Each structure stands twice: as C-alpha cells, then as structure tokens.
Structure 1
Amino acid sequence: MTKSNRLRELADVLGVPVAAFRNSKDCYHLHVDPAGTRWILTLDAQGKPIVRRIGRDAGQTSAEECAFLFLRREEETPQRNALIALIERLLTTQLKD
C-alpha cells in the first residue's frame, strides 16, 4: 500500500480529511462517541502530550491523562486506535525527514 493510500485509509477511519495529517494544530480530535464524549490529544502546561476526555454537556468535567499512560490503559478503542495511527504518522514523517 502506498503512503498516499495509507493516509487516505487512516483519514477515512478517523473521519478527518487527509490534510489533517499535514497541518500543525494545537490539538487533535481522536474520537467522539455516540453520547458526545470527545477525546482530544493536546499539550499540558509543561508541554507534555495528554489525552483530554470532555463530556458532551458543558457541566460535565473533563479528565486528563498522560498520553503514554492512556495507551497502556486503554484496550481496543477507537480513540486509542486513532492515537496509534497519529503516532505512526508522526514517526513516519520524522524518519523520512
């Protein structure tokens, strides 16, 4: 599978445009479940990657967790798979540069 096809496949799975892998962002939306809970990859105040879970309703609290602990703790979930796909993409880009 070519790089272009792999990116297109990942983008389709994640429900994002292929350009999302090329554009710099403050955060990446990993997943939104049917109840509206969102998982976002961002940086904390110290600049370390965290996964933030945000409930659908404004009154719901959000939870933050180190991205690496999140990967260890989570089972096969869409948000974990999205984070793995993003890491693969970033590593591929870094190794090719």
Structure 2
Amino acid sequence: MVAAFAWCDRSKLTLALFPRRLLVFVVGLFLVVPTLSRYGLASANTSWASLPTLLWFEWCRQMGARVPMLTFVLAGTALVAVGVIATVTVLLLTV
C-alpha cells in the first residue's frame, strides 16, 4: 500500500494514513489474549476482537463517525450470541 501511494501520489502519503492506535491495540491483543487463554481466563474469539472489525472501527473514527464503545461491544456480543445459536441449530438439524 505504501509503495502504491509513493508511486502514484507521494503528496498523499502521510503519517495520518498509518493507524498507530490500532497497531498498538492489535499488538496488545496478540500479547494479552494468548496469555489469558493459557491460564483459562479468556474466551478470545469474540467478534469485537477480530482484526477486520477493529479496522472498520478505526476507519469509522478517522472518518468522523461517532461509534460509542458500549454500543459497539453490546452489538458485537448480541451478534455473537445469535450467530452461535444459529450455527448450533443448523448443526443439530443436519445430524
């Protein structure tokens, strides 16, 4: 991506394009989640912790969209619950 910007339009290649906060957060996730899982303290596979979701969330913030964290987490939790129930139901119906 950086090479494409540097080749096509170097003037638009700025540090603002680099998601610094997200990078720090993702590195933290990759350090904390395995540690918590090792000691049985976390179920790490929640939708709000997935990388694409975090990228979307950071993009919304950069574009000025206000996404309240509580709403974001609650919506993700509800979607996980619905997804798990739907998946288990389909699996039980096909067995």
Q: TM-score range with shorter-chain normalisation?
A: under 0.3
Structure with more of its chain in helix, by fraction: 2
Structure with more of its chain in strand, by fraction: 1
Larger radius of gyration: 2
- Normalised to the residue count of structure 2, the TM-score between the two structures is 0.28
- Normalised to the residue count of structure 1, the TM-score between the two structures is 0.27
